[in-house]
Structure 1
Amino acid sequence: MSDDVLVVGGGIEGYAAALSALETDSAASVRLLRQRSDRFQTETGLVDLLGYEPDEDGPVDRPLAAIERLQEDHPYSRLGLDTVSAALELFDTATGDQYSGAETETNALLPTAVGRLTPAVRYPESAAAGVASGADSMRLVGFESIPDFDAELAANRLNNETPLSVTGRTVRAPLPADLDRTEIPEILDQNRSVDGQPIRAALAEKLQPTLDVEPRVGLPAVLGQTEAPAIRTALEEALHVSVFEVPLGPPSLPGQRLESLLSAAVRSRGGTIEESVVSDVEEDDSRITSVTADGQQYDADSYVLATGGVEAGGVVTDSAGVGEPVFGCPASLPGDRLVGREFLSDHPAVRAGVEVDDRRRPLEGGSAVAENLYGAGRVLASPNVVAEGSVGGFALVTGYAAGQRALEQS
């Protein structure tokens, strides 16, 4: 197998790198080797570019403007505002009308399952009616079979901490008692019959008595995988309210939907996606010449490392220290331990990763590990992207830059 660009890894950064390379040259041969199939199960589906500035109270209103105030060594500053904007445009093209936020430069604040508001610069259309900037009150409705979402608790917290008027209610949804949460979307997609009634109509009938005067209703994010827009429309027409989804913890359905969108975008542009684990890397004269994955050898002109951070296994630690296991890149670690001494402190693991030069090439002792290897996403050393609310944006922007560099140098 021979390609112009081979992306090793997955996540938002891997897909962004592949799409960026294909955008740079539509005739390029680009292959994405997904090393793990569950990367998007931890994604909420929301893309946060920059939610909080250092030493500032409250969320950022205009993230692109705030980027210009970041320190010079911040990844966004190093890459430049034009690259950040281009990465967002790439995402908008890939996700089309399934995502909102492109029409404004402001962050949206969306409710979470624990009753907090989280800033996002792009968010699924299924969550759009829940944007907190709307003056309308809302009702959150949870299902007894989904303990991940305590609607009453979430509503109380939102009422206490925001100007919103929010009420909460939990109902017994018309679902089989032994049904796993991951099976609910399929039942709704197929509109299966429950007690002689199509499930969508039965769910609307169950929700109707819980409603009062609120013009919008938030439900747990389980409303279908392939037929989500149709399911939401059916509920809105039956209930005469706007319906939005509240993201849940893993496995995240909005995250899986996002991967489906990005995967379709890569394939529609001529890219190839395979699920395969790299076991060996060949190098000659400071260049990667090939990788072997599941017994198959892959040759490419350029390679992108997008295997994720500590949580995804892209950065590991052993008796020799901390490093990146696929291409053998060294990694930096702030301090002498991965985990901070205090609960919810600024854990070094969040910032641990591979250092790169201005061409996005991983470094070892100040020199490039390989002339044709480029890094993207959480495998890279970074600011505390969790604290500053830039997890998705960091992956998207660095992936875009790495894919562009890789194709230009191939």
Structure 2
Amino acid sequence: MGRQTFDLVVVGAGLAGLAATATAVAASGGARVALVHAGLGTFVYGAGGVADLGGVAADHPAVRDFRALVDAAGVPYDGDLGQSQLLPTILGTLLPVNLAPRSLWNGRVRSGTRAAVVGIAGLSAFDADFVAERLNRLACGCCYQARRIELPRQDGLPHSVLELANRFDRDPAFRQTLAEQLRRVAADYDVVLIPAILGQWSDAGQMAELETAVGCPVAEMATLPPSVAGLRLSNRLLAHLRGQGVDIFGGYPVTALEVENARCRGVHVATPGHARHFAASAVILASGPHSANLLPGWSGDQDSRRRPLDHQGRFLADNLYLAGALADPEARHGGNGRAIVGGHGAALAAFEREDDHATH
């Protein structure tokens, strides 16, 4: 069995796990951190909008650090925690958010806005006429008009959002064609709304170049899962953390925690060929509610430092911490803000504990 040793192992790559990992890197002063995940976080089903922080103040360190993280990763967020805004969806509904990736935030409802809802010929997942009609009923004071563009197909096959996103990433000629097509319909509008197809790896600089070429803001609407906007956010955050020295092991489920004498010694990971064991000074479990099966004897409760408690009120391990939907069920249903705050708090608790031991 392969064995590696880390100061901290974070399990789960949702917003809670990503926030915990980033906070740990910043707070630990060079500690060796590993992020292990079986798959991408559930936020890729949406687009990473933040609407619920559980009453946390706008200047909370978790919020400040998260915004610094997404800026550094090239996927900046816009918005204000003190004021909710409405974002259009591909179902023609309006989604309340406080913070969202800039490419989605551009489409927020603002009185007097004239918006072109742009469909793409051959893309069946998006009906511009339906979306525009629905938004005109819901967004009073705004005008939405359906438009249509043609993009070259690959091998004559129908478009898909992932295929278009991949072409946006790798093909400058495709990006130029898209910009030209959008510019053709943008002249009479304040903003252009399109399905989320602007690359799985694109950054703020590429988005700004597109808008300059189009001549007005371009706003994405999250498509059916997995959302390109969510995939982009996940890809860029993981790449940024890897660049910060985090060891990332993706696609491998954690099968067990090694807990002995109220200490978590590490995690067992189902890697191909042979299982591996990652020894750790601390572990953060942020892999969703299904991870409760890794905590035999857990009462479902936690202490003030986010450590899981048994039915007698004793922590299962003094160096094991919970974050995300496992610790906060509300983070499972649109509570991305709560997940961010929870991941941040779990990382601080983990390294506070290490600091406490170092002084005794």
TM-score, normalised by the number of residues in structure 2: 0.84
Give yes or no for contact 2:83–2:98 (8 Å, CA) kept in 1.
yes
- Structure 1 counterpart of 2:308, one-letter code: P
Q: CA 1:395 to 1:103, structure 2 compared with 1: closer, same or farther past 3 Å?
A: closer
Matched, 1:378 2:320: no
Matched, 1:282 2:250: no
- Which of 300, 303, 320 is the matching residue for 2:280? 300
Give yes or no for contact 1:41–1:252 (8 Å, CA) kept in 2.
yes
Following TM superposition, by how much is the alpha carbon of 1:373 offset from its aligned partner in structure 2, in angstroms? 1.1
- Partner-residue secondary structure (3-state), 2:349: helix
- Structure 1 counterpart of 2:153, one-letter code: L
Q: CA 1:238 to 1:2, structure 2 compared with 1: closer, same or farther past 3 Å?
A: closer
Matched, 1:242 2:227: no
Larger deviation, residues 205-214 vs 136-145: 205-214
- Structure 2 counterpart of 1:158, one-letter code: L
Q: CA 1:38 to 1:123, structure 2 compared with 1: closer, same or farther past 3 Å?
A: closer
Query: CA–CA distance in 1 between the matches of 2:203 and 2:121?
Result: 21
Query: CA–CA distance in 2 between the matches of 1:364 and 1:7?
Result: 21
Give yes or no for contact 2:331–2:337 (8 Å, CA) kept in 1.
no
Query: CA–CA distance in 2 between the matches of 1:38 and 1:399?
Result: 13
- Partner-residue secondary structure (3-state), 1:35: strand
Equivalent residue, structure 2, for 1:199: 174
Residues 159-216 of structure 1: CA deviation (Å, up to 9, x unaligned): 1112221112344433234244312122122326xxxxx3233334444554562221
Equivalent residue, structure 2, for 1:345: none
Q: How many residues end up aligned between the 2 structures? A: 340
Following TM superposition, by how much is the alpha carbon of 1:225 offset from its aligned partner in structure 2, in angstroms? 2.6
Equivalent residue, structure 2, for 1:184: 164
- Which of 12, 33, 56 is the matching residue for 1:30? 33
Following TM superposition, by how much is the alpha carbon of 1:17 offset from its aligned partner in structure 2, in angstroms? 1.0
Following TM superposition, by how much is the alpha carbon of 1:250 offset from its aligned partner in structure 2, in angstroms? 1.1
Give yes or no for contact 2:33–2:247 (8 Å, CA) kept in 1.
yes
Query: CA–CA distance in 1 between the matches of 2:76 and 2:65?
Result: 12
Equivalent residue, structure 1, for 2:357: none
Give yes or no for contact 1:7–1:304 (8 Å, CA) kept in 2.
yes
Query: CA–CA distance in 2 between the matches of 1:222 and 1:246?
Result: 9
Residues 256-300 of structure 1: CA deviation (Å, up to 9, x unaligned): 121123223423433221123222332211111122213221111
Matched, 1:126 2:73: no
- Partner-residue secondary structure (3-state), 1:98: coil
Identity percentage over the alignment? 28
Larger deviation, residues 5-14 vs 172-181: 172-181
TM-score, normalised by the number of residues in structure 1: 0.75
- Structure 1 counterpart of 2:139, one-letter code: T
Query: CA–CA distance in 2 between the matches of 1:108 and 1:200?
Result: 29
Give yes or no for contact 1:92–1:102 (8 Å, CA) kept in 2.
no
Matched, 1:369 2:345: no
Equivalent residue, structure 2, for 1:165: 143
- Partner-residue secondary structure (3-state), 1:409: helix
Q: CA 1:384 to 1:268, structure 2 compared with 1: closer, same or farther past 3 Å?
A: closer
User: Cα RMSD over matched residues?
Assistant: 2.6
- Which of 269, 279, 303 is the matching residue for 2:244? 269
Equivalent residue, structure 2, for 1:401: 345
Equivalent residue, structure 1, for 2:93: 116
Equivalent residue, structure 2, for 1:175: 153
Give yes or no for contact 2:325–2:331 (8 Å, CA) kept in 1.
no
